[in-house]
Structure 1
Amino acid sequence: MKTTLSLLALAATVALPSVASADTLRMAFSSAPRSIDPYPFGGAPTASLKEHVFEALVAADDSPLLAEGWKWTSPTTLEVKLRDGIKFHNGADLTARDVVYSACRMAYKVDGKRNLLTSSMGPIADVVAVDDLTVRFETKAPYPLWVQKMKFLSILTASDADVPAGPIKFDAEGDCGIAAYPTRSDFEKGDAAIGTGPFTMVSFDKSGEAELARFDGYWGEKSDWEKVEVRTIGNAGARLAGLFAGDFDLIENPTTEDLAALEANDDYAFTSMPSWRSIFLVMDVNPEGAKGVTAEDGSAPLANPLVRQAMSLAINRQAIADRLFGGNATVANQFSPSYRAGAPEMPALEYDPVKAKELLAEAGYPNGFSVDFAAPADRYANGARVAQAVTQYLSRVGIQVNLKTQPWSVFAGQRKERELGLFLYGWGHPQGPAQMISFAFASRDKALGLGSSNYSNYASPEFDAAIKAWAVETDQAKADGYVADAMKAVMTDLPGIPLYYQHSIWAHRSDLEVKGRQDERTNAAMVSKK
């Protein structure tokens, strides 16, 4: 409350500052982009920066971008048509040859390290430039998820690359007859930062600072902004103070408490957008028992579906959304955000602590049991407070909870080593509504890319049959049906408990219009002058 009052005072005394330039947009990120090299890293900050400069065949919202369209000509052949007339920043035309070159660069391990999509390209058998504006992806087996994966394949120009004359022959190692690829340093110095995006890179610093200039040869809608300046300010209070001081025009991730300060001053506003990130609990349902979970009779409580249902009934999701987020969170009814394109319709999850106690007694735990509950303290907005609320709700129905909030680095290590019986986690869904459940709850299937993050030890023949059918289905309507079947199975069994869908929030000058994005990225294309 003290922080809120001080911010309100600051907001009341600071008039809307004049901007450094009416055509310069100054943005403050909450986390630093790791590089301008589009290949090695994921994460919203890096993606937010790089997509100013580089573009993919498919946009983040699944619409065509550099591709004007695509179709499966067989279960293992995807043909992509490129837009005509697109120019790179160096003036070269975009052609299918550039796509093959970029696929080779993505498959290639630099210094033995995988790129963002290296493992995802394992099912790709060949990438062929059919003609200047047609590229064909051939897969070893049906791999419909490649359409979603293509949004992460940033397209580089082959015109300045060390590529032999003639067609580029793709190979799974990414060698492709190419003598040398640009290094990360080449990108960060600007020599290789040549894309088709709406901005060119002027400078980049690993501290999280970057400067961009509008590319007037851009094929799409021109930006309102001649220049874009990106700074990284990790502290939320410092970001807001920078906005009020006139250092920034837009900032990421103000806190719930900060929103009152913004509402108190007509010169500022905030934009909230439901994101594709689900926040949920994961439980180790191994019948042999789970780490940190103990019962008087020595049994494995989390292996019992009645216990998991009771835990779900004990949690008041609406109160979490309203009280901890001021309404800037959406109550979850399934693991994928219900508003994600292709998501099935699932019933609302009840809050009924009386019924929860009854189910615990029916399951054989009238006096509850004890459980260690792990949560990262520095990963999700209000994450520690959410974990405290969940602890209270579970305690009220008789479960003894030992909450352990930890730095992400510690938490992530323990999760990887499977030392957590119950933990709080978040997962984005840029690749569609099956993304999280296909990784987190499927039985391990390396060939189909399923189950690599199954820390719950969940196994269900019904779920696995549906998710395996989805993994090879190129007909979208049928694929959506398989996702619905899989979601119904996992929501019945509850190896995890959905809590809410996170919102992304941006604070900004009130004379700017901001169209928020569900993928949590911050981009100059979101921001226009009123």
Structure 2
Amino acid sequence: MKNSSRKAVIGGILFLLLAVMVGPAWTKDRVVISQRTSASTLHPLAITMEPEQGIADNIFDGLMDRDPSGKIIPGLATSWELLNPTKWRFHLRKGVKWQDGSPFTADDVVFTFELGKTPINRYKFISQKIKEVKKIDTHTVDIITHNPWPVLVDSLYQTIFIMSKNFCTGKNDAFIAEHPLGTGPYMVKEWVRDSHIHLEAFPECWEGTPKIPKATYKPISNDATRLAGVITGEIDLTTDVPVQYVDLVKKAPNVNVISRPGMRIIFLMMRMNRPDFPTAKVKVRKALMLGINEQEIIEKIMYGRATAASQLPASFMRGYNQEIVRPAYDPELAKKLLAEAGYPNGFSIDFHVTNNRYIMDKEIGVAIAQQLSKIGVRVNLMARPKEIHFKDIRARKLDFYMMGWGEATFDTARLLGSFLKTGAVWNGSELSDKKFDQMLEQADQIASLEKRGEALAKLNRYVADNVYVIPLHYQQDIYGISKKLKGFEPKVKKTLSINRLYFE
């Protein structure tokens, strides 16, 4: 770990030297934003990762939005009400135009939810709960659920971007993904994969014309190169400032560093569907958690810029359980539990992490492998790109792996259900626990939000007691931004509303 700190300092010096060597290229008519990874799709129903969501949030609109504090605010729906336990009425914004000039109507909303029944939709947790979406008139729709579902409104934020019926009808998913058309403040003018996405302001946007007429998103995986671009003025705003560079970037006279507590939880999952596999035993899972020194990871790998987690939901989420306490690091007790589970000499296991997705992901993997070796667990660490990592999780190929998640609904039901419900897409552990599934289903149908929270907190306790996941920490969201760029307010879900930005 000392070597990683030394490399961070050397890397920091190199990127500051590079910053001096590169000349500025600042212009007031275009904002240049850089992220660590590129967008893989811009199909409104296939977007699940932050790199795509941050871009899509400026092209498309949902029925509602969230302000920087996380509060639900109107989007394409100006208001909504619950008519009965299973029927919601949404009143749609009038005078909205699509980026091809056609009017936005209730037909587009109905079309979008109908398309949500097709395989492209990554948000089946919503479509499966909806019985019908019905047009009442040109600017009114009813959404009818199979059962009471009080978090429908929360769940529609940044999940279902509304699509144009006229534009999308007759076109396949690949075409829609490559030719995004929305009602948002910016239109896609050019997309060269892994290079850049050029956007231009949509002058007839219902939110008003953006103050900066053009925007460019540039994926730059190399941290030093990306941060050098911010310092020289080639880049105006970057997400994911690496924790090891924060203090160095703060020294740049033309850059502000803005951070806020993040909602992304980093955690570990293990195979649990084979009785003969070590991690199918709860004592082994407890031993692994006790054998990981999370405080050391936060201090030495994350440079103190993370918060230790005792459970998956963040403290502001419905279902957070204040009574769950993260167990203290205890390698001796971990070895005792391994012996009781039938592994007095430990065991060997492949451990998969990403190397281009989460803050210090590979470095965290190295640290965990070293820590677990002290309790007799021989870890074969495999760090790979996120594209391969996530594909293998969905294919159920991994035995022990890192995962991260930022839950946009602010509700524990989807968070736990996405990873632990029998057959869920992200349930790479292949857990199948009838009691968990039943508790989740019962909690998810409770109409009272207060009682729903209580039921989810009990479910959260059940997950913690069985160590179905090993929570590590919540990341901080850290941005580097030119001091010439104003109007930036980071959202709790780490998306960027660039139509509010302006140069001074």
For 1:331-480, what aligned pairs fall within 5 Å after superposition? 331-340=308-317, 343-353=320-330, 354-363=332-341, 365-412=343-390, 414-431=392-409, 432-444=411-423, 451-460=424-433, 462-480=435-453
Give the corresponding residue for 2:280. Answer: 303
Give the corresponding residue for 2:491. Answer: 517
Could you tell me how far apart the structure 2 residues matched to 1:406 and 1:92 are? 44
For 1:144-293, what aligned pairs fall within 5 Å after superposition? 146-151=152-157, 152-158=159-165, 160=166, 180-181=170-171, 184-185=174-175, 188=178, 193=181, 195-220=182-207, 223-286=210-273, 288-290=275-277
Corresponding letter in the other structure for 1:418: R
Corresponding letter in the other structure for 1:477: E
Q: 1:452 to 1:267 in 2, by over 3 A?
A: closer
Q: Report if aligned partners of 1:142, 1:472 keep a CA contact under 8 Å in 2.
A: yes
Q: 1:367 to 1:32 in 2, by over 3 A?
A: closer
What SS does the corresponding residue of 1:59 show, helix, strand or coil?
strand
| 1:99 equivalent in alignment to 2:109 | yes
What SS does the corresponding residue of 2:455 show, helix, strand or coil?
helix
Of 60, 65, 77 in structure 1, the residue corresponding to residue 75 of structure 2 is 65
Q: 1:356 to 1:65 in 2, by over 3 A?
A: same
Cα deviation for residue 395 of structure 1 reads: 1.9
| 1:19 equivalent in alignment to 2:19 | no
Q: 1:273 to 1:181 in 2, by over 3 A?
A: same
Q: Give CA deviations for 1:218-247 in whole Å, capped at 9, x if unaligned.
A: 433764423222223232222223223321
What SS does the corresponding residue of 2:262 show, helix, strand or coil?
strand
Corresponding letter in the other structure for 1:403: L
What SS does the corresponding residue of 1:197 show, helix, strand or coil?
coil
| 1:328 equivalent in alignment to 2:328 | no
Q: Give CA deviations for 1:230-289 in whole Å, capped at 9, x if unaligned.
A: 223232222223223321111232323332331222211222233332211112234622
Could you tell me how far apart the structure 2 residues matched to 1:47 and 1:287 are? 36
Q: 1:19 to 1:377 in 2, by over 3 A?
A: closer
Cα deviation for residue 187 of structure 1 reads: 7.3
Could you tell me how far apart the structure 2 residues matched to 1:106 and 1:485 are? 31
Could you tell me how far apart the structure 2 residues matched to 1:118 and 1:441 are? 15
Give the corresponding residue for 1:497. Answer: 470
Which has the higher Rg, Structure 1 or Structure 2?
A: 1
| 1:3 equivalent in alignment to 2:11 | yes
Of 76, 86, 106 in structure 2, the residue corresponding to residue 76 of structure 1 is 86
Question: Normalised by the size of structure 1, how large is the TM-score?
Answer: 0.81
Q: Which has the higher contact order (CA 8 A, sep 6+)?
A: 2
Q: Report if aligned partners of 1:394, 1:400 keep a CA contact under 8 Å in 2.
A: yes
Give the corresponding residue for 2:38. Answer: 32
What SS does the corresponding residue of 1:72 show, helix, strand or coil?
strand
Could you tell me how far apart the structure 2 residues matched to 1:462 and 1:200 are? 47
Percent identical among aligned pairs is 26
Please tell me the root mean square deviation across aligned C-alpha atoms, in Å.
3.2
| 1:507 equivalent in alignment to 2:463 | no
Unpaired runs of 5+ residues, structure 1, are: 163-177, 291-299, 445-450
Give the corresponding residue for 2:4. Answer: none
Aligned length: 488
Give the corresponding residue for 1:172. Answer: none
Q: Report if aligned partners of 1:213, 1:228 keep a CA contact under 8 Å in 2.
A: yes
Cα deviation for residue 430 of structure 1 reads: 1.7
Corresponding letter in the other structure for 2:271: D
Corresponding letter in the other structure for 2:207: G
| 1:42 equivalent in alignment to 2:53 | no
Q: Report if aligned partners of 1:314, 1:351 keep a CA contact under 8 Å in 2.
A: no
Q: Report if aligned partners of 1:275, 1:517 keep a CA contact under 8 Å in 2.
A: no
Q: Give CA deviations for 1:449-495 in whole Å, capped at 9, x if unaligned.
A: xx443333445455333211123234322222221111011011102
Question: Normalised by the size of structure 2, how large is the TM-score?
Answer: 0.85
Q: Report if aligned partners of 2:82, 2:88 keep a CA contact under 8 Å in 1.
A: yes
Cα deviation for residue 504 of structure 1 reads: 2.9
Cα deviation for residue 52 of structure 1 reads: 1.2
Could you tell me how far apart the structure 1 residues matched to 2:361 and 2:468 are? 20
Cα deviation for residue 136 of structure 1 reads: 0.7
